[in-house]
Amino acid sequence: MRKWLLAIGVALGFSALAQTGKLEIFSWWAGDEGPALEALIRLYKQKYPGVEVINATVTGGAGVNAKAVLKTRMLGGDPPDTFQVHAGQELIGTWVVADRMEDLTSLFRQEGWLQAFPKGLIDLLSYKGGIWSVPVNIHRSNVMWYIPAKLREWGVTPPKTWADFLATCQTLKRKGLEAPLALGENWTQQHLWESVALATLGADGWANLWNGKLKFTDPKAVAVWDTFGKVLDCANKDAAGLSWQQAVDRVVQGKAAFNIMGDWAAGYMSTTLKLKPGTDFAWAPSPGTSGVFMMLSDSFGLPKGAKNRQNAINWLKLVGSKEGQDTFNPLKGSIAARLDSDPAKYNAYGQSAMKDWQSNRIVGSLVHGAVAPESFMSQFGTVMEIFLQSKNPQAAANAAQAIANQVGLGR
Amino acid sequence: MRDRITAFLVLLPSLVAVGIFVYGFIGQNLWVSFSDWGKNPTQALALRPELQFVGLENYRELFSGFVDVRFRQSVVNLIFFTLFFMAGTLGLGLLLAIALDRGPKGEGFFRTVFLFPMALSFVVTGTIWRWLLQPQGGVNVLPTLFGFPPFNFPWLTTRQQVLVFDWNQLPFYTALAVGLTLLYLAWQAHRGGERKRLFWSLLSSGLLLLWALTLGRNIRLLPYAEPHGFSLALVGVILAAVWQMSGYTMALYLAGLRGIPVEILEAAKVDGASEWQTYRYVIFPLLAPITLSALIVLGHIALKIFDLIFAMAGLDYAPTDVPAIYMYLLAFRGNQFAKGAAIGILLLLLVAMVVIPYLASQLRKEVRR
């Protein structure tokens, strides 16, 4: 019965020239990120003036609150027409395995997206022969930020490896800089960890950690915690009380030399703090990860049972299109997931990230939902707390492996 | 008879509503906590999840599973938070009430000032105190106003723990605490001359303490030592909570103090009681029922605390974790619904332990009347 209705709906959708009805878009883009979404919605309304768009946002960075609301809605059998979700395992491990999403492979074929997006990204979006969401933007996780003028003053250069970094850290400490690395609350510490892990394990080792081929208790993986502990010794002790913006502020004010943060920091420094990218502040891949692009991506999926399916599909088409991505991303401070977007629309940081996006090896971020399911990721915070409390690499590694076993990571 | 039917019909809708929406859902939650909801990702968020019965497995994991160390620390945190919060709120409230009861100038003004924080929500309090307790500002720079060096206690950001004990000792400490309480009850029964109660409480306390000191020390919940203690990051949270709620206990105590008949106080004076003796033997005993109700109200606030800590330290910060926060994390972020439900049941039991004896004693009193 439902299939019939869907078929009729689709048929009507294609035949009718003017789409009507509603479209409910569920996301956590409010506040600073609101204008980017609104621009995209305006574009949608130009194309489909008859459709009433309901912009259902639930505020809270990285969707911490939105995801909880979405779960209660989905469990209650009231899915939105389309919802924002971090591309990769955060979607797959929660919604795809539970059979709540529609496969979008045919849409990808029809729109030519299999060529438009890099293969590394398509791989992260795929599971059991299907492709499950349309990525609208790309952020990079493994970036190190600094102020060039300050580094010249201190007489140091951006370190290329973590060993380099630790040496530079000692130099800076001798020059009276108490905490050369600025760090914030728990999730930014996990964010730092994934950069350290990527450098220590390499891109292949990192991928193997998530498909279960490399155990967390393997000496190589335990070594990550070793290095991480040493790196933490370079960081401020009041980290737990700082937001990521406050950690960036430390670098800008010259109280710290480096900060490892995703490239939304570029948006914060250029838009909010009015600094000029490339001259006032600069960036490099986090130590030991040059040539690797650790990505995270916001994407939209199509839940089964969406009330306005055709409108949602039109939305997905717009989200994946060159026009849609080039409207959204300059405002959001991210880059397009497509390889053919127009560099002229982006600032200096965006252009440099686009170059790397096209040439680098692509891997997924842990903290931002690309490589591990939520059941693992949410408990990784506990692993981090165990390490911070005990400073014992083996204990942290054991806990991580226990959680990996419990949630069936890589299976 | 007719009255009874009318009464029954009038009560019926609320009985049905309470039955379904309170007890029905408690029952459902209990069932979920005995299931494996969340263990299998393909079922966790399916449209119609198929649940398997696993008995007490979720509870076992919480108390002795390797990865749920954070739950155990959160329980320890909750106990310390509740104790210090209640002691601080009652003590400060009583002091303020006694001060105001003496009728200083501007009493009405101060009463409003002290009561005002209670009008705020915990989220507002938490946000303000989060700012005040920043290591480089707020409270820490206060002494510099008077020319003293600033404090350097890191407040919420510290990871230091005091009163550290091994989780394996938990059965021992629990038995010890319950045994001593029973011993106290026995002593009270002895003073009241209740033979039967004295016998039973003495017997059970003796058995419990004997068990604690012999077998209880050898029980091992975990194959390794796991230290837990009072994390000092909670001091800031306790401070904020006491600031918010002490006005409330002040109001309660003030009403109690005002309700004490003047004749009794004068009689005490005539008998030659000193000021301290008047408080100790006349006023405090008369305030005891108020203390009890305040304890119940504060106790259940403390046990269910979530929003204050959410606003002050966020969800991801283990040193200030409490079970309600961990429950939210597990259920709504980690999709471990069954384990979250198990924590919910444990919290319900904890609150019931506080509320039910109180309700029972109140009911008994009413029947006596």
Asked if domains A2-139+295-364 and A140-294+366-407 share a fold, the reply is yes
The C-alpha atoms of residue B251 and residue B86 are separated, in whole angstroms, by 15
Report CB contact under 8 Å: A382, B45.
no
Report CB contact under 8 Å: B335, A68.
no
- Chain A residues within 8 A of B332 when measuring between CB atoms: 67-68, 71
pLDDT for residue B281? 92
Fold of the CATH domain A140-294+366-407: D-Maltodextrin-Binding Protein; domain 2 (3.40.190)
- Phi, psi dihedrals of residue A234, rounded to the nearest 5°: -90, -5
The mean of the pLDDT values for chain B is: 90
Q: Which of residues 42-71 of A touch B (CB under 8 A)?
A: 64, 67-68, 71
Report CB contact under 8 Å: B41, A100.
no
The mean of the pLDDT values for chain A is: 91
pLDDT for residue B359? 86
Percent of chain A at pLDDT above 90? 82
Report CB contact under 8 Å: B334, A378.
yes
Nearest Cα of chain A lies from the Cα of B67 at a distance, in angstroms, of 6
A121 touches chain B (CB under 8 A): no
Q: Report which of residues A299 and A406 the model is more confident about.
A: A299
A386 touches chain B (CB under 8 A): yes
Split at pLDDT 50, 70, 90, the class of B102 is: confident
**Stated pTM of the model:** 0.87
Per-position DSSP letters for A252-293, written without gaps between them:
HTTS-SEEE--THHHHIIIIIS-PPBTTTBEEEEPTT-TTEE
Instruction: Count the Cβ atoms, other than its own, within 10 Å of residue B264.
Output: 13
- Phi, psi dihedrals of residue B165, rounded to the nearest 5°: -135, 165
Split at pLDDT 50, 70, 90, the class of A389 is: confident
Report CB contact under 8 Å: A100, B47.
yes
- Chain A residues within 8 A of B70 when measuring between CB atoms: 382, 385
What's the one-letter identity of residue A201? L
pLDDT for residue A126? 94
Report CB contact under 8 Å: B334, A388.
no
Percent of chain B at pLDDT above 90? 57
Strand, coil or helix: what is A298? strand
Q: Report which of residues A4 and B191 the model is more confident about.
A: B191
User: Which residues fall within 8 angstroms of residue A277, CB to CB, at 6 or more apart?
Assistant: A266, A269, A270, A347, A348, A349
pLDDT digits (tens, 9 = 90+) for B207-258: 988 888 888 777 788 888 888 999 999 999 999 999 999 999 999 999 999 9
pLDDT for residue A4? 56
- Chain B residues within 8 A of A389 when measuring between CB atoms: 159, 318
Question: Is residue A336 over pLDDT 70?
Answer: yes
What's the ipTM?
Answer: 0.84
Q: What's the rounded mean pLDDT across residues A334-345?
A: 94
pLDDT for residue A18? 57
Report CB contact under 8 Å: A71, B335.
yes
pLDDT digits (tens, 9 = 90+) for A18-43: 578 899 999 999 877 889 999 999 99
Question: Is residue A51 over pLDDT 60?
Answer: yes
Instruction: Give which of A378, A391, A403, A411 to mutate to test B binding, by max B Cβ within 10 Å.
Output: A378
Instruction: Count the Cβ atoms, other than its own, within 10 Å of residue B221.
Output: 15
Report CB contact under 8 Å: B41, A238.
no
Split at pLDDT 50, 70, 90, the class of B277 is: very high
Please choose, from the candidates A282, A273, A318, A279, the residue with its C-alpha nearest in 3D space to the C-alpha of residue A300.
A318
Instruction: Give which of B73, B133, B157 to mutate to test A binding, by max A Cβ within 10 Å.
Output: B157
Q: Report which of residues B146 and A104 the model is more confident about.
A: A104
Nearest Cα of chain B lies from the Cα of A175 at a distance, in angstroms, of 22
pLDDT for residue B135? 82
Strand partners, A135: A299
- Minimal Cα distance from B312: which residue of A? A241
Strand partners, A361: A292
Nearest Cα of chain A lies from the Cα of B134 at a distance, in angstroms, of 7
Domain-wise residue ranges, chain A: 2-139+295-364, 140-294+366-407
Give the residue ranges of DSSP H helices in A140-255.
Answer: 148-154, 162-174, 186-211, 219-232, 244-252
Report CB contact under 8 Å: B45, A94.
yes
- Lowest model confidence (mean pLDDT) among A228-232, A358-362, B217-221, B300-304: B217-221
pLDDT digits (tens, 9 = 90+) for A64-94: 889 999 999 998 889 999 999 999 999 999 9
Report CB contact under 8 Å: B43, A98.
yes
Strand, coil or helix: what is A396? helix
Domains belonging to chain B, first-starting first, are 70-368 (1.10.3720.10)
pLDDT digits (tens, 9 = 90+) for A157-186: 999 999 999 999 999 999 999 999 999 988
Split at pLDDT 50, 70, 90, the class of A153 is: very high
- Minimal Cα distance from B331: which residue of A? A68
pLDDT for residue B369? 61
Largest CA distance in chain B: 79
pLDDT for residue A16? 44
- Give me the sign of the Cα torsion angle B238, B239, B244, B246: positive
- H-helix or E-strand spanning residue B231: strand B227-231
A3-32 exposure pattern, b = at least 16 Cβ within 10 A, e = fewer? eeebeeeeeebeeeeebeeebbbbbbbeeb
Q: Which of residues 88-117 of A touch B (CB under 8 A)?
A: 93-95, 97-100
- Chain B residues within 8 A of A378 when measuring between CB atoms: 329-330, 333-334
Q: What's the rounded mean pLDDT across residues A111-128?
A: 94
pLDDT for residue A15? 44
Q: What is the CATH number of domain A2-139+295-364?
A: 3.40.190.10
Q: What's the rounded mean pLDDT across residues A300-307?
A: 94
pLDDT for residue B368? 67
Measure the N-to-C terminal CA separation of chain A; round to a whole number of Å.
Answer: 34
Question: Is residue A11 over pLDDT 70?
Answer: no
pLDDT digits (tens, 9 = 90+) for A188-246: 999 999 999 999 999 999 999 999 999 999 999 999 999 999 999 999 988 888 889 99
Question: Is residue B145 over pLDDT 90?
Answer: no
- Minimal Cα distance from B50: which residue of A? A98
Q: What's the rounded mean pLDDT across residues A107-125?
A: 94
